[in-house]
Amino acid sequence: MSSLWIKNARVIDPAAKRDAAGDVCIEAGKFVPSLSAAAKKRAKVIDAAGLVACPGLVDIHVHFREPGQAHKETIGTGSRAAAAGGFTSVICMPNTSPVADNAGTIQLMKDVIARDAVVRVYPTGCITVGMKGQALAPIGSLKRAGVVAITDDGDCVQSNDLMRRAVEYAKMFDLPVMDHCQDHSMTQGAVMNEGVMSTRLGLRGWPNAAEDLIVARNVILSEYTGAHIHLQHISSRFSVDIIRRAKLRGVKVTAEATPHHLALTDDALATYDTNFKMNPPLRTEADRQALIAGLRDGTLDIVATDHAPHTDYEKDKEFDYAPNGILGLETALPVTLEILVRQNRFKLPFVVDLMTRRPAKLMNLPAGTLAEGADADLCLFDPDEKWRYDAKAGFSKSSNSPWSGQTLTGRVRTTVVGGKIVFADGKIVSR
């Protein structure tokens, strides 16, 4: 395997508290402190003046749709979108067809990952059989099959007792539980945030309380059992407050925010554009500001995309009938930089931490560092480059993005996985 010498970059490595101009050296697929004179002669050199070199981005919440929904996305196309966005490690949700509730489906996914993925893709298993919320999936055999967490994402376990048993078993097997927080009894027929805009548009509203109740339930269960419960795509300001107070008590809950909930509000739905329809829904400016404050003070731990591809013909329907979800991988970095760094004055190393070391640590992934001897997964980006995003020309199989056609600031130049360049200059380079 050839050597790689990245020169003159702004090197940001949150794990080492490093933020300084310098070089990054890679040999035999690992980070090394320097290259020998002979290795420098044969190394591929990248002059990264004006660019940021950081650990490969880590996304613990993506939907790659395979098996069974390859018309939306595949592990191959999703991993290419990830590489284009600077991500080198991603965690797939189990709401495929069939759902990933058994070792056989997990093995199928691992085989496809080995064959088609250009980044590191980790599977999750279901909490319940068939994701029906009625009986626990075989958590032990899912762990042996290689899942890194369990979740019924796309759905939510409604039975408090069943969820208690799930987190108890997950704790035994040292598996995080990731939960999509939604009380179904409060969201029947709901398609957007409940408020002034839903009333104006004549659409069924989705109250914050539907999220808040399950967040509170999970806080209680985590405190009661000692299990790690990760709260997915938090959108409500009341949920942020619940999590903040729980963490002050030492409860073992963690939580994520998405770039779209950080950037957008329900005002964006004024034209009934289904590319702004998602679960949980876009909420108010007060909710958006609460998410930003939650990231700032550590109440919310990370940024994750909830990359959710759907075809044009699925999204091109009456608002009530279109599916929830948007693309996220190729736009996550510039959108997050815009909202957190440029608009809210977050320090760039802090934002890099939200998207590298922290998510890797939460899910026990071997990623998020430039340390000597670590797998050489790296993202090289220009934080100031302006570019026009065209979702139809992107790497995902779908194009359901509210940012398509917009000019974004901050662009990934190169993505390296295990010492191999997999994305550079707008193109996938190799597997």
Q: Mean pLDDT across the stretch 41-67?
A: 97
User: For 345-358, what is the mean pLDDT?
Assistant: 98
Query: Which SS3 state, helix, strand or coil, does residue 196 take?
Result: helix
Catalytically annotated residues? 306
User: Would strands 420-424 and 427-428 be described as parallel, antiparallel, or unpaired?
Assistant: antiparallel
What mean pLDDT is predicted for residues 192-201? Answer: 97
Nearest to 137 by CA among 113, 173, 110, 185: 173
Among residues of the chain, what percentage have pLDDT more than 90? 99
Instruction: Round to the nearest angstrom and report the end-to-end CA distance of the chain.
Output: 14
Kindly give, in sequence order, each residue whose CB lies less than 8 Å from that of residue 414, ignoring residues fewer than 6 positions away.
Answer: 46, 378, 379, 380, 421, 423, 424, 425
Identity of the residue numbered 317: K
**Mean pLDDT, range 55-77, rounded to an integer:** 97
pLDDT value of position 387: 98
Q: What is the mean pLDDT of residues 330-347?
A: 98
Predicted confidence (pLDDT) at residue 73 exceeds the cutoff of 70: yes
Residue 369's SS3 state is: coil
Quick one: pLDDT at residue 1? 59
Both tokens of residue 113? 């990952």
What pLDDT, on a 0 to 100 scale, did the predictor assign at position 2? 80
In sequence order, what are the residues at sequence separation of 6 or more whose Cβ sits closer than 8 angstroms to the Cβ of residue 172? none
b/e per residue 28-47 (b: at least 16 CB within 10 A): eebbbeebeeebeeebeebe
Q: What is the mean pLDDT of the chain?
A: 97
Identify the CATH number of the domain defined by range 56-362. 3.20.20.140
CA distance 117 to 108: 13
Name the least confident of 33-42, 109-118, 409-418: 33-42
Mean pLDDT of 52-75: 97
- Mean pLDDT over 260-276 rounds to 98
Q: Which CATH architecture has domain 4-52+374-428?
A: Roll (2.30)
Q: What is the pLDDT of residues 202-252, one digit of tens each?
A: 999 999 999 999 999 999 999 999 999 999 999 999 999 999 999 999 999
Residue pLDDT, tens place only, 398-407: 999 999 999 9
**pLDDT of 431 above 70:** no
- Kindly tell me if the per-residue pLDDT of 390 is higher than 90: yes
- Mean pLDDT confidence for 122-148: 98
Average pLDDT, stretch 405-431?
Answer: 94
Cα Rg of the chain, angstroms = 21
Is residue 430 predicted with pLDDT exceeding 90?
no
**Cβ–Cβ contacts within 10 Å for residue 140, how many?**
13
What are the pLDDT digits (tens) for 167-178? 999 999 999 999
Q: Where are the domains of the chain?
A: 4-52+374-428, 56-362
